[in-house]
Structures are given as C-alpha cells and as structure tokens.
Amino acid sequence: MTHHSSARPKARRNPRKGYPGVRRARGLAGLAFASAAVLTLAGCSPQAGDSTSPGGATAAVAQGSIEGVAAEGVDAFLGLPYAAPPVDDLRFKAPEPPEAWEGTKKADAFGPACLQGGEVVGVEKSEDCLYLNVYRPSGVDADAELPVMMWIHGGGFGGGSGALFDPSEFVERTNTVVVNINYRLGALGYLASESMGADAGSFGLLDQVAALDWVNENIAAFGGDPARVTAAGQSAGAMSICGLLTSPETTGMLSGAILQSGSCAFRAFTPFEAAVEAGNTTAAEIGCPAGAAQLECLQGLDAEVLMETPGRFSPTFGSDVLPAMPMDAIEAGDWDAIPVLAGSNRWEGKQGIFFSVGPDAGSMTAEEYEARVRETYAEKADDVLQRYPAGDYDQPALALAAIDTDSTFGCSTFTFAEGAADQATIYAYEFEDPTSPTNAGMALDGIDMSSAHSAELAYLFDYAEVERPLTGEEKELGYRMMDYWAEFLTSGTLGSPWVAFTAEAPTFIKLTPEGEKPFEDFATEHQCEFWASMS
C-alpha cells in the first residue's frame, strides 16, 4: 500500500510483526436499546467469588487495572476509554490517548453514546463518548490468543452506539473476543472547515483508528490475539471499515474485514475540498466565519447547536487520512488486501420505503410509484420502469424496494467483490429469511418486511430492535452464521459450502433457514449489468 505523509505521529503499527505491549440503529435512523442480558451486565456489580474466570473479571491495560462484570460464560469490561474526551480544545481534532488511572477502575457500566438526534434508550448521550466494551469467554487464559472482532455500528454516520449490541452469546459460543466501540457522529464527527487542517471531516474515522490502536495494544490482556483482529460492521459501520482498509493510518493493523450491508463501492464519502467549502458556509451561518478565530469559535459553541446544523455528514477523502474514495483506492491496488467477508440482505430496500414513503407505503398506487421513479431517474425512468414494472410485485412499494435493494446495496456488494477478488480472498453472501422479524417500529401495513436492511443483526447479536425474538428455526440459522463469522475471524478462510468469489465464478452463498447454498446468479437476480449501465 502506498504511504502518504501525515503530520500526526503514528502509534504502534503492524502487530503481525510482534506485539510490544502489555442497542442500536434503526438502520439509518438511530438506535434503540438492548437485551436483558446486557442490562444484567450493566446493572450488577461484581462481588468476590462471582466470577468463573481465574482471578475474577480483571485485566491490566496500558492505562491501568480494570475490573469488569463476570456473568455466566462471559466476562464483560464496559465503558473503557480508548481516547481522551473530545471536548473543549480537543473538539474537531484527532483523538488523543486516554489518561492513565491509579488503582483499579470499575468497568461495569457503559459509557455514554455519542451525541446524536433522538434518544438512545438505556444510555446517556454526551460529547464525552469515546468508549469501548470488551467481551471475552469466562475462564480464558491471558495468553489464549483468541481471534478478535472489533464491531463498528451503523447509523448513517449520525446515530448509534456500540454498547447496544450485546455479543455475549456470540462470544460464549465461538470462543472469541468481541470489542464494540463508539465514535463521533454527525457534525462533531465529520464537519470540515479550513481551520481544522488536514484532519477536517475525518474525526469519526480517526476515532475508529484510535480504537483499533487501543485494541492492538491491549487486547492480549483479555486473551485476544493482536495479530488476528477483524473489523466488522454494518451499514455505515461497514463503509467506515472501507476507509480503514484504504487509509495509511491503519496499514497492517487488521487481519480481515466483515462488511454487512455496506460495500466499499458505496460512494458515500465526501471530497475534502467540497466538504471544507460547505463546512465554511455552515460555520459562518452559526456565527463562526472563516479566519484565524474560526476553530476556537466552533470549539466554544454548545455541542447541541452543532449537532442541530443541517446537512448529511460523512467522512472526507482526498487528505492524508483518506487519500481516495475507497473503491478507487481498491481498484488501484492501494489498500490492505486482506480477506473480506461481504454481503447484503435480499430485500435491503424494504427499510428504505419506510423512510422514503412512510407508514402508508402499503397503499401506494402504481401511478404514485411511476411518478416517484420519474422524479428520481428523469430521462432514464422508462428504462427503470421497464425493468421493475409495478405489476411484477405484490405492492407497487415493493417495486420501489427492489430498485433500492439492487441499485444501492446488492450491486454495490457485487461491484466491490468483482473489483477486489483478484487482489484478496473475498467471500460474498446474501441473507434471506422470509420469516425474519421486522425492526421494532418499522412494520408497514400490508407489506412483508422480511430480509430488510439490518435484519441479519438479530441473528448474530442480542439485538433487541426487532419486533419479536427469533423462532427456533431462525435461531438455528443464527447459530450457523455465528459459526461462519467465527471461522472467518479465526483463519480468514471459510470451508464448505463457501467458495471464494472470483471473476470467473462470481459465487455468493445464500444464507437461509433451510441451509446454505452457493449460487452464481446474484448479478442477474439483482440486474447488476443494468445498474452498471446507468452509472
């Protein structure tokens, strides 16, 4: 990978060369809260003799000793600071290392979620939010060298909290270590202006880099292997990982990546110069015009004022932090070409119609569907309507969902796999469960919402933003998925029925309650050649 200059001193890199040291999003809308298991962990205080692991749920990290929560099968260490609070004169700057502490720090409660619109049930929100949580199997030896997953939540770069995904069952079943993290969101994470320098618009991504630094440095203290750290994420979390894969900041720090419903072919990041120009305008509108005093002015504003600034924020590219749009870097071979497991859900776009059409989507008429397509695709609308006639679907709104599924999610996953497969081992999947529960609060009258965006999360984690618990058959699919994910964490490979994706054999694995099977008709089923011609 090509290295780019940076004014920031680098932390430890490439743990493979030797280790030197010691609930949730409604897709793109925001997160709701967690399971009884997480509440139990957060609400109890460890007592002498409670732990099933040697010496209790304790560990020693670079900043000091910690005592977590020992539950049956899993030790959890909650609310660990991986960076200094990004407040006051650290607002709109790259994260600084956390301070050390004396004595033993209690790690039995989640840190606050980062500021965002709406409530995050069960946790407070704060600008001081750079915390992570570590889950390990009970009784694990410190030198166990277990594979590690660092989970990055989704939420459209504007919502979410790592604490709201409970991986306890995953950890106990698969004998792995899981870390979930917070990172700055919205304007506090991604606003750019000329006064912020080369890091402008990259603060949320740099938080993830800092969390990965912390994991590489400290995970051995929890029985994890710093040479086997896989970043996994969903939606905006997966897109963030694409930034980690292509940033010089993280070269050599990951052994693998898992991208769920967020492909590196999404062109979701913002050009640096355009972000700075827009950010200067935004800053002036809220009373901080360009000039020498701009940054100090922005750092002095009430954080809630900043979070209410209009606009959709995402990481910038075209700087030292992220030199290029991720897919462009991948196609140029300028990335960490490590094994990747990437996939999407069969009906991702069903969640999209909840937001774009609303609760009355089930009553959308064919005429209303056609009008919306014409508004979106203008002179190309006839081609889209010919490919997706309303009469082919139970409701016209499902035709709209099919368009979003194929054009936005399915075919971008295919494009990434096709572009990366000649450089790295790529495994591709599609999740399809025709009975999967709907995300809580997102049911639409008259429309089957199964296999929508975020549907797979409840199969991997205790993810309570669903309308009901999984059935026994759904749970069995979840167990198989946990085992596949863990196999990938362990070795970067997957055995039968999985086969690596290649240009000659572009194979996806269909994940269904009836079992898994390879299929090579993914691009045809999702009309990817058509959507490629539309770009």
DSSP string, 490-520: HHS---TT-----SSS--EEEEETTEEEEES
Measure Cα distances from 248 to 376, 395, 411 in Å: 37, 47, 27
**What is the DSSP pairing of strand 64-67 with strand 113-114?**
unpaired
Q: Quote the CA–CA distance of 78 and 479 in Å, as a whole number.
A: 25
pTM of the model: 0.90
Spell out the domains of the chain, with CATH numbers in brackets: 38-331 (3.40.50.1820), 340-358+404-530 (no CATH)
301: β partners: none
Q: Are 325 and 242 in contact (CB under 8 A)?
A: no
**Choosing from 348, 418, 430, 456, which is the catalytic residue?**
348
Cα(244)–Cα(337) distance, rounded to whole angstroms?
Answer: 12
467 annotated active-site: no
Listed in order, strand segments (DSSP E) in 302-407 are 316-317, 340-345
* Integer Cα distance of 387 and 408 in angstroms: 16
Active site includes 331?
no
Radius of gyration of the CA atoms of the chain, in A: 22
Residue 240 has a pLDDT of 98
Residue 453 a catalytic site member: yes
User: Which of the residues in the chain have pLDDT under 70?
Assistant: 1-56, 121, 464
Please tell me the predicted confidence (pLDDT) of residue 464: 61
Burial of 305 by CB count in 10 Å (0-12 exposed, 13-18 middle, 19+ buried)? exposed
Helix, strand or coil for residue 367? helix
Kindly name the residue from 161, 168, 235, 319 that is annotated as catalytic: 235
Residues with Cβ < 8 Å from 306, sequence gap 6 or more?
Answer: 187, 188, 191, 286, 298
How many Cβ atoms sit within 10 Å of the Cβ of residue 111?
Answer: 24
Q: Which tokens go with 164?
A: 């709201």
From the list 127, 453, 454, 474, the catalytic residue is 453
Asked whether the beta carbons of 214 and 292 are under 8 A apart, the reply is no
Which residues lie below 8 Å from residue 9, measured CB to CB, with a gap of 6+? none
List residues bridging with 105 in a β-sheet.
66
The candidate with the shortest Cα–Cα distance to 130, out of 48, 44, 204, is 204
pLDDT of residue 441: 85
131 strand-pairing partners? 81
